[in-house]
């Protein structure tokens, strides 16, 4: 038997797992109360998984103790599509109508001779004459051989107070059972009839089935409930509204809730598998060049797709949230290429109103090295990586970036200047402060406070209410107060300065044996790979492993794969082969799939392609990642020119601030190859 090591770190880890993450003592008390019969256990069969089981069904592979792969786990076979909220069933959780039709066609008995007809009668038990169709040609042979017969019974299908004659076919073996059913009722016979038909017709309502069988709807309802309790059928909403009959439409028009549909468990599983398969086959894989053309449209860089105004700028920020770019490249190179008429005031208003925030999400390398040798100061530069993000998403974005922020025992202050340390202490003690307050409290010169704030920004420790605070720090003319820039120095920018992340959030003791994932879970319990997975889909539309080479948000493709598979089963994303030439699974948003289709349809007769120039620091710099060629260093002075999705040349501008005004002839350029 494997022994647990007797070590303080192992003991502490076990205690944290068993008493903090789980309540082992409470579980032991619960078992004791069950053993003493104080608590009675009742087993209940439910048609859907209990909400308490969802965490187990969606657990990561490492939550299990054995080494079985994810695909072989029985938990993967549990159907959870029906647990979606009712308002989403017809959207993200809808089954494919073609898959439903195919299963209905395949499940209905195929009758080619009298023997097939006899087998169908044994399966269906009771076959009303209106449902016979072309099978009638084989009935005389069965009647002559005394294997089947046509009988007339009295049914109260229309009204419980009136009876009318119904003719139908039955196998000779079932004649007594059918007569007993219509004479006085027999629950077992009725269950057999309903089960036989449910195995053959696919999704239906009790009203539709009762009409086909010429049986009272109330009796069919009770039979469905009994079959549901035995696990034979499932209830839900499986077909689109247009597939329902006129009775359902009348009910919906009257304001009453839509009737419940029923489907045999085996047929529903086949429909679900076909739905997933058909969704994956709907899009023919595009080439890497076509995918690049799609990305230029998806991220609003291509002409005709650019955003407008504050709402458009907020959409761009949401899409790029979590991607860090050199501070000097955001406005002239990224935002201007995505907005038709970008003005700095648009970003200032969003920041000052508290909608958008900015800052360095990934800690400075000096803060996470943890060696006593590397204690040099942090030097602020305009290429310090900065991210724009919606403020409500700042916590999980920083938590995702802090995955690498496991520092040794020394804190970040050893790498900061004395002025920066004073400013950090004041912001920690006093909270968000204006520039004049920082000068007064620290008793430093305004120019020293400017340098200290710039150092803290580059370290990823502080931010400000407005983006103009950062803009002023980066502009050398404003820093030197040359000419008309005197009144626009950093000290005159609107908004307060504040800590971006709490002090000490980057420090984890070197003696701790907890994994980084465990440490992050303790600091950020709300952090989930699902948020990262959704953000990457928002940025690219289509996600696969090779595409994410430049992403710092990605914890591991394995963790993302679990999330994407779960989202695919819920109908939120589609899995399949969307971009050819790359291995591994690929996932896409439904709207991205439609965009890929539309782009392919519009290629015929399209206008001559235009050249599009992007900065090498742009997330669309995928040369050498998914596009052929040598990688272009992601620095603001480098650029790439695309024509119809193909990188045709690269170059370097002399001044990154003039990126949008440089022509190809005024810069050093070379072809991609």
Confidence label for 541 from pLDDT (cuts 50, 70 and 90): very high
Give the three-class secondary structure for 610.
coil
Cβ atoms within 10 Å of 316's Cβ, excluding its own: 21
User: How far is residue 312 CA from its own chain's centroid?
Assistant: 22
Alpha helices in 444-544 (DSSP H): 446-459, 468-474, 476-480, 516-523, 529-540
Which DSSP string do the residues of 6-69 spell out, in sequence order? --HHHHHHHHIIIIIIS-HHHHHHHHHHHHTTSS-------SS--GGGHHHHT--GGGSSS---
Round to whole Å and give the CA distance between 141 and 135.
11
Confidence label for 132 from pLDDT (cuts 50, 70 and 90): confident
- Residue closest to 370 by CA, chosen among 414, 411, 413, 408: 408
Q: What is the mean pLDDT of the chain?
A: 80
Q: What average pLDDT does the segment 395-413 reach?
A: 61
User: How far is residue 289 CA from its own chain's centroid?
Assistant: 25
Give residue 269's pLDDT. 87
| Order of strands across the sheet that contains 148-159 | 127-128, 162-171, 148-159
pLDDT of 411 above 60: no
pLDDT of 319 above 50: yes
Confidence label for 124 from pLDDT (cuts 50, 70 and 90): very high
Backbone angles phi, psi at 589, to 5 degrees: -70, 145
- Exposed/middle/buried for residue 269 (C-beta within 10 Å: 0-12, 13-18, 19+): middle
Confidence label for 252 from pLDDT (cuts 50, 70 and 90): very low
Round to whole Å and give the CA distance between 617 and 161.
79
Give residue 275's pLDDT. 82
Report whether 129 contacts 167 (CB < 8 A).
yes
User: How far is residue 570 CA from its own chain's centroid?
Assistant: 10
pLDDT of 522 above 80: no
Give residue 520's pLDDT. 43
Round to whole Å and give the CA distance between 396 and 534.
12
Q: What average pLDDT does the segment 527-545 reach?
A: 89
Q: What average pLDDT does the segment 383-394 reach?
A: 90
- Residue closest to 46 by CA, chosen among 176, 228, 186: 228
Round to whole Å and give the CA distance between 607 and 104.
46
Round to whole Å and give the CA distance between 360 and 268.
49
What are the tens digits of pLDDT across the range 648-661?
999 887 654 444 44
- Residue closest to 71 by CA, chosen among 561, 548, 557: 561
Say which DSSP state 78 is in: S
Token digits of residue 593: 């799939």
Round to whole Å and give the CA distance between 263 and 200.
10
pLDDT of 324 above 60: yes
Q: What average pLDDT does the segment 137-160 reach?
A: 81
Give residue 152's pLDDT. 84
Label residue 95 left, alpha or beta by phi (over 0 means left) and psi (-120 to 50 means alpha). Answer: beta
666 or 385: which leads in pLDDT:
385
Give residue 247's pLDDT. 43
Cα dist from 217 to 169, 229, 264, 446, whole Å: 21, 19, 18, 84
pLDDT of 325 above 50: yes
Angle at 580 between CA 579 and CA 585, to 5 degrees: 65
Report whether 252 contacts 241 (CB < 8 A).
yes
pLDDT of 507 above 70: no
Cross-strand pairs, 149: 170
pLDDT of 242 above 70: no
290 or 661: which leads in pLDDT:
290
Give residue 483's pLDDT. 57
Report whether 308 contacts 341 (CB < 8 A).
yes
Round to whole Å and give the CA distance between 270 and 272.
5
Round to whole Å and give the CA distance between 508 and 524.
14
What are the tens digits of pLDDT across the range 437-456?
999 999 999 888 888 998 99
pLDDT of 519 above 50: no
Give residue 632's pLDDT. 92
- Residue closest to 462 by CA, chosen among 474, 471, 450, 454: 454
Q: What average pLDDT does the segment 474-491 reach?
A: 65
Give residue 300's pLDDT. 94
Label residue 411 left, alpha or beta by phi (over 0 means left) and psi (-120 to 50 means alpha). Answer: beta
Alpha helices in 52-186 (DSSP H): 54-57, 86-89, 97-107, 114-124, 139-144, 175-184
What are the tens digits of pLDDT across the range 97-109?
888 999 999 999 9
Return the percentage of the chain with pLDDT > 70, whole number: 75
Give residue 514's pLDDT. 37
- Residue closest to 101 by CA, chosen among 211, 213, 202: 202
Backbone angles phi, psi at 650, to 5 degrees: -125, 165
Confidence label for 513 from pLDDT (cuts 50, 70 and 90): very low
- Residue closest to 548 by CA, chosen among 387, 322, 357: 322
Give residue 246's pLDDT. 45
Cα dist from 141 to 113, 120, 146, 152, 227, whole Å: 9, 15, 9, 20, 34
Q: What average pLDDT does the segment 33-51 reach?
A: 82
Round to whole Å and give the CA distance between 669 and 638.
9
Give residue 371's pLDDT. 47
3-state per-residue secondary structure call for 408-422? CCCCHHHHCCHHHHH
Cβ atoms within 10 Å of 262's Cβ, excluding its own: 27
Return the percentage of the chain with pLDDT > 90, whole number: 34
Give residue 379's pLDDT. 78
pLDDT of 330 above 80: yes
């Amino acid at each position: 038997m494997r022994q647990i090591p007797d070590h303080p770190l192992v003991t502490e880890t076990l205690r944290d797992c068993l008493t903090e993450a789980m309540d082992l003592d409470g579980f032991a008390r619960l078992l004791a109360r069950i053993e003493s019969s104080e608590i009675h256990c009742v087993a209940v069969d439910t048609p859907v998984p209990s909400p308490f089981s969802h965490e187990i069904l969606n657990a990561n592979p490492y939550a299990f103790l054995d080494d079985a792969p994810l695909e072989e786990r029985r938990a993967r076979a549990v159907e959870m599509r029906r647990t979606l909220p009712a308002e989403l069933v017809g959207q993200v959780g809808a089954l494919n109508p073609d898959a439903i039709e195919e299963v209905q066609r395949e499940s209905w008995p195929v009758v080619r001779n009298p023997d097939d007809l006899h087998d169908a009668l044994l399966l269906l038990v009771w076959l009303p004459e209106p449902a016979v169709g072309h099978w009638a040609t084989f009935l005389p042979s069965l009647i002559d051989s005394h294997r089947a017969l046509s009988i007339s019974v009295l049914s109260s299908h229309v009204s419980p107070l009136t009876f009318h004659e119904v003719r139908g076919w039955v196998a000779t073996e079932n004649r007594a059972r059918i007569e007993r059913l219509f004479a006085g009722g027999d629950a077992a016979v009725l269950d057999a009839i309903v089960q036989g038909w449910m195995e053959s017709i696919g999704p239906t309502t009790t009203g539709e089935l009762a009409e086909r069988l010429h049986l009272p709807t109330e009796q069919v309802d009770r039979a469905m409930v009994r079959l549901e309790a035995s696990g034979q059928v499932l209830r839900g909403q499986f077909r689109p509204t247009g597939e329902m009959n006129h009775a359902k439409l009348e009910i919906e028009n009257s304001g009453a809730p839509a009737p419940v549909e029923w489907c045999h468990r085996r047929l529903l599983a086949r429909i679900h598998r076909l739905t997933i398969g058909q969704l994956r086959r709907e899009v023919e894989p595009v080439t890497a060049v076509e995918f690049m053309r799609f990305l230029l449209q998806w991220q609003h860089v291509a002409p005709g797709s650019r955003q407008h105004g504050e709402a458009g700028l907020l959409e761009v920020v949401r899409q790029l949230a979590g991607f860090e770019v050199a501070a000097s490249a955001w406005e002239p190179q990224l935002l201007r290429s995505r907005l038709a008429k970008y003005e700095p005031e648009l970003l200032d208003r969003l920041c000052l109103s508290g909608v958008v925030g900015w800052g360095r999400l990934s800690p400075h390398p000096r803060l996470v090295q943890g060696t006593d040798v590397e204690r040099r100061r942090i030097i602020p530069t305009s290429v310090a990586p900065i991210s724009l993000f919606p403020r409500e998403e700042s916590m999980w974005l920083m938590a995702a970036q802090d995955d690498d922020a496991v520092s040794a025992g020394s804190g970040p202050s050893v790498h900061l200047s004395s002025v920066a340390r004073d400013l950090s202490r004041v912001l920690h003690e006093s909270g968000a402060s204006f520039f004049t307050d920082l000068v007064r409290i620290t008793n430093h010169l305004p120019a020293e406070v400017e340098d200290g704030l710039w150092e803290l920004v580059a370290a990823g420790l502080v931010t400000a209410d407005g983006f103009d605070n950062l803009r002023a720090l980066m502009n050398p003319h404003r820093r030197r107060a040359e000419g008309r820039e005197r009144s626009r120095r950093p000290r005159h920018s609107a908004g307060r300065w504040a800590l971006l992340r709490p002090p000490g959030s980057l420090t984890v003791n070197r003696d701790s044996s907890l994994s980084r994932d465990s440490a992050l879970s303790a600091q950020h319990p709300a952090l989930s790979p699902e948020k990262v997975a959704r953000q990457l889909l928002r940025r690219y539309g289509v996600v696969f492993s090779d595409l994410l080479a430049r992403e710092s948000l990605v914890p591991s493709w394995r963790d993302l794969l679990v999330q994407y598979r779960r989202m695919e089963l819920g109908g939120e994303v589609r899995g399949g082969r969307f971009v050819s030439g790359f291995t591994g699974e690929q996932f896409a948003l439904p709207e991205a799939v439609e965009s890929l289709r539309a782009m392919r349809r519009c290629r015929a007769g399209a206008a001559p392609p235009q050249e599009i120039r992007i900065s090498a620091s742009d997330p669309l710099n995928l040369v050498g990642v998914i596009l052929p060629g040598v990688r272009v260093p992601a620095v603001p002075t480098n650029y790439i020119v695309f024509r119809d999705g193909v990188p045709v040349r690269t170059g370097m501008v002399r001044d990154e601030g003039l990126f949008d005004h440089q022509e190809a002839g005024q810069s050093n350029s070379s072809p991609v190859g």
